[in-house]
Amino acid sequence: MIADSFRLNFENDFFIPGQLDRNLSDRVELGYGRDGLEYLLGNEMYTPRDKRNPGIPEGDRPWDGYTYIGVSGEIAENKDLTVRIGILGDASGTDSLQRFVHDTMGLGVHPAGWSTQNPSEPALDVIYSHKFFNVSDYWIGQAKVTSEYGVRFGNVRIESFVAAEIKRGFFHEGWELYLRSGIDGHGVAYDTTLNGRMFRDNTYVVDRVPFVASTFLGVGTRIHDWLIEYQYRYLTEEFKGQDGRHAYAQVLISRNW
């Protein structure tokens, strides 16, 4: 049997000039879609600025990892629900993943501080969103405006969010080229990668910023069943005392059958 869709979403600050390799250092998610549901496998990696420091990164972001499986689907018209279960901390295997990339593959400095990350904890992450669409035709191309609001809760993150984006596309015989841009805001009540574990004693935590905004600009192409997209993302400070705002890029590859 053939899957309805396959998706690889890869977010990393390696993809931007300067290659900062800090804060959200890496996020990768695989999606397999069938019969209206998408099955997920993913990992998120968070690191401080100085990876050579084997001690607690005082004044900087804690080391942390999150590995999960999940399922996502539409529960009503334009209303989506995603449920992910996984593991936080050392049991997520995120430290081994970064050591393999940095030490074995030689892509970066040796990450020395993973022993200071907060303890392992089972993770539950639920995301609900409601989207609204508006499509306008022009003498050349088409614009699609999407607005979205929702909530996320669990012991990974508790927040509400609102977002808006515009996608302007140009089509020709099975080929599409488009631009996307947007902005979103997050009211953050809890973030385990900053505030530490909900049910365990912590090694090191920082104070979250209660509201975080981000913006993005992207370009993509669809050729028949294949889609490739690149986005540049820019975020305001996520924790108090953060040294500068953060930027990273997203690469999305997907195919539908």
Please return the burial class of 45, using the count of CB atoms within 10 Å of its CB with bins 0-12, 13-18 and 19+.
Answer: buried
- Segment 69-108, tens digit of pLDDT: 999 999 999 999 999 999 999 999 999 988 888 777 767 7
Domain of 252, CATH number, reads 2.40.128.140
Residue 214 · residue 236 · CB < 8 Å = yes
- Segment 87-97, tens digit of pLDDT: 999 999 999 98
pLDDT of residue 196: 97
- Which residue(s) pair with 53 in the sheet? none
Q: Name the pTM for this structure.
A: 0.90
pLDDT of residue 234: 92
| Angle made by CA atoms 85, 28, 129, in degrees to the nearest 5 | 60
- Which residue(s) pair with 162 in the sheet? 149, 185
- Does position 210 have pLDDT exceeding 60, yes or no? yes
pLDDT of residue 22: 61
- Segment 173-199, tens digit of pLDDT: 788 899 999 999 999 999 999 999 999
Residue 108 corresponds to which tokens in the numbers above? 């970066």
Name the domain count of the chain.
1
Domain enclosing residue 59, as ranges: 5-256
42 in helix, strand or coil?
A: strand
